[in-house]
Structures are given as C-alpha cells and as structure tokens.
Structure 1
Amino acid sequence: MASSSSFSSCALAPRLKKHDVFISFYGKDIREGFLSHLQKELKQNQIYAFVDENLERGEDILSSLLAKIEESYVSIVIFSENYAYSSWCLDELVKILECNIERKQIIIPVFYGINPTHVQELEGSYCDAIVKHKKESNNNSNKLDAWISALKKISNLSSFVAENIKPDSKLIEQIVNHTLKKLDDLVISSDYWNDGLVGINSRVKDVEELLCLELVDVRRIGIWGMGGIGKTTIASKIFERIWNQFQGRCFIANGYPLFCPLLSRESSHNKKILIILDDVSDVTLVSIDFLIGKHVVIGSGSRIIVTSRDKQLLKNVGTEIYKVKKLNDHEALELFSFHAFKQNFVKKEFMKLSRKAIDYASGNPLALKVLGSNLFEKTLEEWEDKLRN
C-alpha cells in the first residue's frame, strides 16, 4: 500500500466535490471494527472519506446524508448481517444507485461477515428485513420496490468479501488500492464529470507529456494563456490525477506562495514534491523566484507547475511553457450547447445563432459558458436581440 505523506499539503486543489468517498454502513460493531481500520488506511493515503459521525448537530440528518452522497466521487457500501434492517441505510442505497446512474459515481460493495447471495437473492436476514419493512410500510410499495431494486443491483456489482468479522489488513489494502485507482480514473474521465469541461482531457495529457513523470529530474512547467482559457482547471485536474505519486504536494491558488509551509528547507529537503502555483501575476514574481530558487532543496522527480497570463513571467522563473489551446469549433459548439441547452447538441432552429455566438467567443471556454448560460431558456427573438449587440 502506498505510504502516507510525512507532511500534509497546505491546500488541496479545487475539487468539484467535497469528499472522495461516502461510506454506507450499519452498526456500532462495524464502526468500531472494520470501518475504523478502513478509515485509517484511507486517511493515510489521503483519501477523504465521509461517515455519518461527521454530521453537525442540529442538521436534518437523513437529508444531510443524501447530500453527502452527491458530494462524493465514490460510495463504499458495507453490507453486513443487519444492514437491511436500517431504513436510513436503504435510503442511502437508493441515492447511491441514483448517483451511479445519473452521475456515474463509482460504487464499491463490501460484504462483511455475510454470504453475498443473501443480499443478491434477499435471503436470510435480508429476507427478514424486507418482510419487516413491508409490514411497516403503510402500503408505500414504491419505496419498498426502490429499496429492493437498489439492494439487488448494487450487490451484484464487482465487490470485496470479508469472510470473517475480524479486520483483514490485506483486504483493506485491496479496497484502498482499488479506490485509489477508481479516483485516479475518474479525474481524467470527461464522461464522469459531465460538467461542461469540454476538451480538458487532451490539454491535461499535453501537460502531462511535458511533465515527463517517469524521469527523475526536477522540472518546471508553465501553463500560459488568456483569462478564462482553462489554466486553473487544467492545473487542478493534473493535481488530482498525479498527487499520490509525490511525498508532498501543495496547490496554491491566486498566486500567494508565501503561505505554503511545504516550501522550506525542513519540509522539502530531498523529498519528491509537487507544487502548483496558480494564477501568478507579476506582483508575486519576486516571491516565486525566491521560493522555487536555489535555497529550496527538493528531491529528484519533483515537479513545479506555474499558471499565468504573463508569458514573460513564466520565462523568468525558468519554466517550459505550455500555451493552452483555444477550443476548436466542435469543442466550442459542445460547450456552448451544454450551457445554452443543458444538452450536448444544438436545437436545429438555434444553429445559425449558435454559430454566431461561438464566433464571438473565439474559443474561450469562460466566454462560451457565460454566453450560453445567459441565453438558456431564452426565445429565438431574445437570442437575436442579445447577439445583435
């Protein structure tokens, strides 16, 4: 298993979701046994897991739990002997399946001290639990059907099986490594994001090629382009994709590097580290040159990424520069459609005006997003009026 960093990063890259993993489970014995060991290993690998003990007092707990599922990349479901007796757990399960279908969230089932067929075929305690819920359902057959469907569909996914109730370090390691891989895969998958980050994959790969992660030298890469072109998004995706390959990592937004404790002799000495300085302006040039200069002894394989609108600044700090490409016509049309129609194609009657909007935005993702959002649910006449100005 990958070892945890000996020092924490001063800031995480901006994330689209608040948690890496949501863990659905039932029972104090699970919490104090298997779950506690799993949480520890996830944390050591800097995978941020949510369990219901993190909820604040006074919150509507069930609503909060369902919201936390939406805020996660992956859901780990621990099926135990008594899991199905909890209506809350079954509600979580329905939400997890919904997020899997609609948002392509990853589900990792774990069978803990129970035969998987008992869940898949609703046998044993799972049969008893459904019978109990049916008696208490007050003819709410829709909810009961949703619970049964979620149990069957999720329990038939690729899973891990804990044959006894003693924590198995090897099994936990396998679960954590599998979770790491899934998180890594999700970061680079534009299909998963479904948030309008059109064309991001190719640009992330371009920068990764410049990083040459397989080499042991220290490299500085500059990501350069106009405002709104996607520099921060590219840097964030790269950070999320490769952070676990480094002993330490630091993502510093808005060009304020003086606040990163990682950049000191003691913290960085001979360690393989990843540093991203985002949105750097000429005002901070002296600070950057000082921080990534000769006084900081960082280890072989370290990578420093700086994003800026100022090409000369990037030259001054010795980076190899990547110029972020504008979106091509196909990408621009797809991004504009995402925001103007909330779908990946243009309505036929709006095609001519959409082409005009795309020409106006000139391949800038932010301009396309703002323009498309302002035209959403507007009439053809309103489109003509706005694009005439």
Structure 2
Amino acid sequence: MCIYLTLTHCMGIYTHTQQVLVEGSIDGPKDHLSMTTSSNDQHGPRRIILRGLMVEPWWSFLNKSIADSSSSSSQSIPAWNHDVFLSFRGEDVRKNFVDHLYKDLVQQGIQTYKDDQTLARGESIRPALLKAIQESRIAVIVFSENYADSSWCLDELAHIMECVDTRGQIVIPIFYHVDPSDVRKQNGKYGKAFSKHERENKQKVESWREALKKAGNLSGLVIDENSHEAKCIKEIVGTISSRLPTLTTNVNKDLIGIETRLQDLKSKLKMNSGGVRIIGIWGVGGGGKTTLASAAYAEISHSFEAHCLLENIREESSKHGLTKLQEKFLSLILKADVKVRSEIEGRSIIETRLHNKSVLVVLDDVDDLKQLKALAGSHAWFGEGSRIIITTRDEHLLTRHADKIYEVSLLSQDEAMELFNKHAYQKDKPIEDYEMLSKEAVSYASGLPLALEILGSFLYDKNKDEWKSALGKLKCIPNAEVTERLKITYDGLEPDHQKLFLDIACFWRGQNMDKAMMVLDACNLHPRIGVKVLVQKSLIKVSDARFSKQKVFDMHDLVEEMAHYIVRGAHPNHPVKHSRIWKREDLKYLCDMGVAAPSMVKLTLQ
C-alpha cells in the first residue's frame, strides 16, 4: 500500500507543501495524530504516525531529499506574478514619463507593478514592495536626476540586482536625462547624493554603489533633451514585449475548425461596442469549449486593462470551496496576494476592485449557479468594456446569466476525418487500405474532438486486425456512453501504465511534474517510460504552469472523469471499495466511521 502525504505545518511556519511517500509499517511515538489503514496482504493493518513534518524512522532520508528538492526548485523555478516592476523617483518622473509608460504597458496587456505610495523620510521599504520585485519577470529602472537621493529607490535597486543573480530577473535601465557614467561611477548629482548617504546610511552605501555600478553597465535606453519621448516609450514597450514569453495557453495554432468558431464567438463578444457583456459557451464534454475560450483569450486579452483565465472551476470549487476560488480569481486578475474571509466579502472585493476596470474574464467549466454568483454575480461588478466568457455543459446556468449563448458545434465529417488522421497516421490522409476503417472509427466519435484525438492516438501503429478488434468493441457501447468509449484506450495499456495513469489522474493533475515523477518512481511505476506512453496516447499532457517555468501534468476533464469512473468501479458511492482515495469527504468518511478499506492501494492526506 502507498500513501501520498501532503503535509503542511499547521502553525504556518512552513510556506510550501512537501509531497512524501510512505510504504509499509512505521514505528514512532504515539502522542501525535495517527491513522490506521488496511490492505489485503498478510501483514494486516498498518499504523501511520504523523509527527509534524517528520514520519519516523526509515523514510526520513526520503523526506529530506524531497524537502531539499522542493527548496532548490523554489529557487530555480521562480513564480512570476507580474511582467514588469517599475522603479522610479516619483517627484522626478511620476506625472509625465512614468505615467505614460505605465499606460502604454497596460494597454499592451503587460502586467505592470507601479507603486504610487510615498515614504516618510527614514521609513523602511515595505515587505509588499520587496515581494512585488521578487515576483516580477522584468524590472524597468528609470534613473532620473534625483533617483540616488532616495534611500528607498536605492533599496529597491539593490533588491532588484539581487534578484538578477538569484532569480534570473531581467533589468532594463532607462537613463532619463542623466549620463550612464554618472550612474556607474556616482558622479555629478549621484555623487552629491552619496556624500549625504555616507553620513546617514553608511552601512548600506557599499551595496548601493555596487548595485548602481551593475545596473549602469547594462544595455539600456538614454533619453535626453533631443529625444522624442513618445517614440522612446514605444521602443521600451516593444523591447519588453519581445522579452516576455508568448501567452501560455493550451491552444494549438493548427487546431482544426477553430478559426470559424473563433470568429463566430468574437461576433457575439462585440468587441467594438461598449458596456459589459457576458457570453456563455455551451456544449458537451470534450467538444472543445475550453479550447475555444482559451483561443479567444489568447487573441483578445491584450485589449483589456486586466485579464484572467480561471480554469477547472468545477473541480477547484469541489476541492477548495468558493472562498478559495474567489481568492484565486482576485489574486490572478489583480496580480496581488488577496485574502478572502467569506464568500460575501469576496463578492464585495470583486465589485469594489473591478467595477472601474475593463477586464476579460474566462470562467472555465462552471457547473453550479453558486459559482457564477460568487465570481461574476452582476454586470455592475465590472468596468465599461469588460467581457466575461463562461464555459459549461449546462445550458440552464446561462439562460438568465449570459447576454448570449454560443453553442459549440461538433466537427463536420471532413474536419473529424482530418483530426483523426492527424493522430492515427501522423498525416492528413489515411494509409492505403485503411480508408474504410478510418471512416468507421470517425463515425463512432460522433464529431467529438477529444474522442477523435484519443481513438486516433490509440490506433496509431496498430495493424488491421487490432483495428477491427477495437472497432468491434466500440459497436457494443451505446452512443451516450462517451466515458466507456474513451476507456478502450485505457484497456489497451500495460498494467503498470494503467496504474500510472490512474495515479496521475487522481493525485497529480496540475501538480509539479518533477516532484510527481520522484514519488511515482518510488512506487516502482517507471514513470520515465510510462509518461511518454500516456502522452502518446493523448491521455495526459505536460504543460507549462501559469506564472512559472514549472512543468505540470494535465489532462482533459473527460479523461479525468474516466479515471475516476474506473477507480470507483461498480461502487461509486462507497469509498470503502475504491482503490484510491483523493477526495477529502471520502477520507473523512473512512476516518469518522473507522472503516477499513480492503481495496485501497493509495490515498492522499492534506
């Protein structure tokens, strides 16, 4: 039996979560939380003792290794919550150059942090500002005549240059009516400022000088009395845009049939009209709703002051509740760490913070009216020109909430054949003598993109007899049973790959891939090989995490549902008979009832 333990220090001392694996019986002191689990083997019940963040004795080395890995990972894979941090001397440039630069950056959809507060003399730089610097991919430093007069600006600069070394931050210096050599060598007004700092802030002067020297040696833009500021700002924005990664979505430019559907959706959005519009995208699971919404988001998000794509709302709401969902939404769209104490407070914050902003919001996979009321309760919550896109399988949710409903049409026969061929043969046309088999397979997919992708990937490199066998099984499945049709791919996997797939679907979707691979490898599931197989079969994907360089496991909602369907088997409402426990309510039920779960091989604790 394996147990995935997600252990978070309850006193809040530890700020990150560690994933650890326990296997076999464990001895330890009995004055801490304990749980008894069961298995079918001869050893009988096994007792697990949780002691803070340590489980003694034999796997402490593994725990330490993972903790070390997590620590090094957090250093090497920064989470960027802002695209740009602006560092400037307010009284020099706030009301002209910086305001114009900030406006142009925001108009281009570049998430920019500009602090408009001022500090009293001698006041320390705020922790929130240091955090904003650390979470910004690019720092733009506007060196003006009086920049060095401010100890606050110099503290910012020192922290920025530290982030260059520790986090790979990019720095773009702007020399605004100052000579770069004055910055590097602290001459002129910079020299006078440092004469004063030598008396008042002697302990910091050396680090400030070093930071100015490093920043002054970087390639930047010099703006003097002969410069055209509007053109310079345009050049700066262009430089920043070129240094930012392309918007991360799961949208493939070669998606079949996406162009016409995207144009139809945009016509309902009425981008050139005023007001706030809420558009619903409705269709069956696996029909391309999320793909279409993501494509629209990628294409038009730059036109808004702020934007947010909130994915997997159904799952996130079920796991964490509406208040946490509101926190995530606000933190994403405001690029700040927002805390929400209640659902009512969350609604109030959303309206207060967004009612005067033009925003683009995509709410993906909504399945309950409560979710809409918590996240987009009224048109009045959002500013002029805002657009809200909702994807759902339930048309009824949209009838009163959306201005227009766009029903996603399934693929035409030609589009379906093109998509199937792409996955079954890795080309546009079928192999000779396979045309009739291809048409038969396409007919079973009923124009559903996900089914076509998975069936095609499954049949790739199979011979004719294997094709006929698979298609014969499909004939026995009723049209409505999409899950059963997808399950044919699962049935064709090797046993170890089946276990690996179920583990990823139940425990690791959206999680750090490196951490997951380490734990799965410790379970002897050989993930290095198995993950490649599952990707080839279109059952899982490896994606970039939003706002960081981490790789995470992902899959379509319908594929995840299929995995859960398999795990629950013939007893969907009896967790005691499930092979894996991942939902809090199921785990609580087992603990409260003191019930042994003879079928269970894995569970997760949080």
Q: Is the TM-score greater than 0.5?
A: yes
Whether 2:245 is the aligned partner of 1:204: answer no
Whether the aligned pair in 2 keeps the contact of 1:19 and 1:71 (CA below 8 Å) is yes
Residues 110-119 or 161-170, more deviating: 161-170
Q: Deviations over 1:257-277 (max 9, x none)?
A: 88558xxxxx99xxxx98743
The residue aligned with 2:190 is: 126
Q: Write out aligned runs for 1:90-129 (5 A).
A: 90-129=154-193
Whether the aligned pair in 2 keeps the contact of 1:113 and 1:162 (CA below 8 Å) is yes
Q: d(CA) in 1 for partners of 2:94 and 2:84?
A: 16
Whether 2:134 is the aligned partner of 1:70: answer yes
SS where residue 219 of structure 2 aligns?
coil
SS where residue 110 of structure 1 aligns?
strand
Whether the aligned pair in 1 keeps the contact of 2:175 and 2:223 (CA below 8 Å) is yes
Q: Deviations over 1:202-259 (max 9, x none)?
A: x33357776449x995468999868xxx959x96697356523799973232545885
Q: Write out aligned runs for 1:243-322 (5 A).
A: 243-244=301-302, 250-253=360-363, 255=366, 256=372, 259=378, 276-279=389-392, 281-284=394-397, 286=399, 291-292=404-405, 314-315=408-409
Whether the aligned pair in 2 keeps the contact of 1:20 and 1:74 (CA below 8 Å) is yes
The residue aligned with 2:114 is: 51
Q: d(CA) in 1 for partners of 2:284 and 2:218?
A: 43
Q: d(CA) in 2 for partners of 1:25 and 1:56?
A: 13
Change (3 A) 1:40 1:126: same
Q: d(CA) in 1 for partners of 2:523 and 2:195?
A: 55
Whether the aligned pair in 1 keeps the contact of 2:109 and 2:303 (CA below 8 Å) is no
Q: CA deviation at 1:79?
A: 0.7
Q: d(CA) in 1 for partners of 2:198 and 2:256?
A: 57
Q: Write out aligned runs for 1:1-389 (5 A).
A: 19-53=82-116, 61-138=125-202, 140=203, 143-164=204-225, 168-183=229-244, 185=245, 187-188=247-248, 203-206=250-253, 211-212=258-259, 217-218=263-264, 239=297, 242-244=300-302, 250-253=360-363, 255=366, 256=372, 259=378, 276-279=389-392, 281-284=394-397, 286=399, 291-292=404-405, 314-315=408-409, 323=450, 339=512, 346=518, 350=522, 352=524, 355=527, 363=540, 365=554, 388=602
Change (3 A) 1:217 1:88: same
Change (3 A) 1:253 1:120: same
The amino acid across from 1:365 in the alignment is D
Q: d(CA) in 2 for partners of 1:31 and 1:123?
A: 24
Change (3 A) 1:279 1:78: farther
Q: d(CA) in 1 for partners of 2:251 and 2:164?
A: 25
Unaligned ranges ≥5, structure 2: 1-78, 267-280, 306-357, 367-371, 416-446, 455-496, 541-552, 561-580, 583-599
Q: CA deviation at 1:51?
A: 2.6
Q: d(CA) in 1 for partners of 2:179 and 2:511?
A: 44
Q: d(CA) in 2 for partners of 1:317 and 1:276?
A: 22
Q: d(CA) in 2 for partners of 1:207 and 1:160?
A: 38
Q: CA deviation at 1:69?
A: 2.1
Q: CA deviation at 1:323?
A: 3.7
Change (3 A) 1:161 1:208: farther
Q: CA deviation at 1:110?
A: 0.9
The residue aligned with 1:296 is: none
Q: Percent same amino acid at aligned positions? A: 28
Q: CA deviation at 1:159?
A: 1.7
Unaligned ranges ≥5, structure 1: 1-15, 189-199, 262-266, 294-312, 373-385
Whether the aligned pair in 2 keeps the contact of 1:20 and 1:72 (CA below 8 Å) is yes
Q: CA deviation at 1:114?
A: 0.8
Whether the aligned pair in 1 keeps the contact of 2:108 and 2:303 (CA below 8 Å) is no
SS where residue 252 of structure 2 aligns?
helix
Whether the aligned pair in 1 keeps the contact of 2:86 and 2:112 (CA below 8 Å) is yes
The amino acid across from 1:133 in the alignment is H
The amino acid across from 1:177 in the alignment is G
Q: CA deviation at 1:286?
A: 4.3
Q: d(CA) in 2 for partners of 1:285 and 1:50?
A: 35
The residue aligned with 1:382 is: none
Larger Cα-atom Rg: 2
If the length of structure 1 is used for normalisation, what is the TM-score? 0.55
Q: d(CA) in 2 for partners of 1:120 and 1:237?
A: 46
RMSD: 5.7
Q: Deviations over 1:124-177 (max 9, x none)?
A: 333444454344445x3xx54443343233333332211139872221222233
If the length of structure 2 is used for normalisation, what is the TM-score? 0.38
Whether the aligned pair in 2 keeps the contact of 1:224 and 1:231 (CA below 8 Å) is no
The residue aligned with 2:309 is: none
